[in-house]
């Protein structure tokens, strides 16, 4: 039976990826996302002060958002992220030790994979879903082809997803999508246009909800 977090992701379908923002920017951006219907927010660990941001976001938006850690490259970072309050771990790579430890601690772990071998290895290690990355380079046809033999493994398509193709990616079989700058618009955030960011987020949420998933 799928976890509560996986059930929520299956409904909402979007993980926002925050990389390189200040605490003040992320504070305001998180509210815009939540108000716009996006509740999954991943803070990448290569962001200055990421662990503190994760803790703060859990305390401030824990009732509205699911806060995770991204760019978790090894078990040391995994332990730090869990201690900070991350509810799930996401990586660009597959490190089985990270998967084992996260699962042991009761967290969802979604490692980065590209090949059929990596996808199956991650799933066998205990990952409840895999991050198919880099989706922008692989393309939707790759997703369709890989889903044919491996359709029982949930795949989070990350990279290259935008407002024009999000419905096509989901309709091709992605369980969910991970989105950075195309969702967390750097210009809007830099200019403090957080109401526009909320409208932007709502457009993505509406597209995701309208997609015909398989």
Report, as residue numbers or ranges, the catalytic residues. Answer: 42, 131
Please state, in angstroms and rounded to a whole number, the distance separating the CA atoms of residues 86 and 43. Answer: 9
Cβ neighbours of 22 (radius 10 Å) = 12
Task: Kindly list the distances between the CA atom of residue 213 and the CA atoms of 13, 65, 132, 167, 190, in Å, as whole numbers in the listed order.
Answer: 10, 23, 17, 9, 34
CB 16 within 8 A of CB 179: yes
β-pair partners for 214: none
């Amino acid at each position: 039976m799928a976890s509560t977090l996986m059930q929520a992701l299956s409904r909402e379908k979007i993980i926002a990826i925050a990389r390189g923002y200040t605490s003040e920017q992320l504070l305001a951006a998180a509210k815009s996302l939540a108000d716009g219907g996006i509740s999954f927010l991943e803070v990448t660990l290569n962001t200055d002060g990421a662990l503190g941001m994760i803790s703060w976001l859990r305390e401030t938006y824990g009732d509205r958002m699911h806060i995770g850690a991204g760019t978790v490259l090894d078990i040391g970072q995994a332990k730090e992220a869990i201690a900070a309050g991350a509810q799930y771990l996401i990586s660009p790579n597959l490190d089985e030790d990270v998967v084992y430890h996260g699962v042991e601690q009761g967290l969802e772990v979604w490692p980065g994979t590209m090949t059929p071998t990596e996808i199956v290895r991650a799933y066998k290690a205990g990952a409840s879903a895999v991050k198919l990355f880099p989706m922008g380079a692989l393309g939707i046809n790759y997703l369709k082809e890989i889903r044919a033999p491996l359709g029982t493994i949930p795949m989070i398509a990350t990279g290259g997803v935008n407002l024009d193709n999000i419905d096509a990616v989901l309709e091709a079989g992605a369980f969910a999508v991970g989105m950075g700058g195309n969702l967390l618009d750097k210009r809007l955030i830099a200019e403090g246009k957080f109401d526009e960011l909320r409208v932007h987020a709502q457009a993505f949420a509406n597209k995701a909800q309208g997609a015909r998933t398989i």
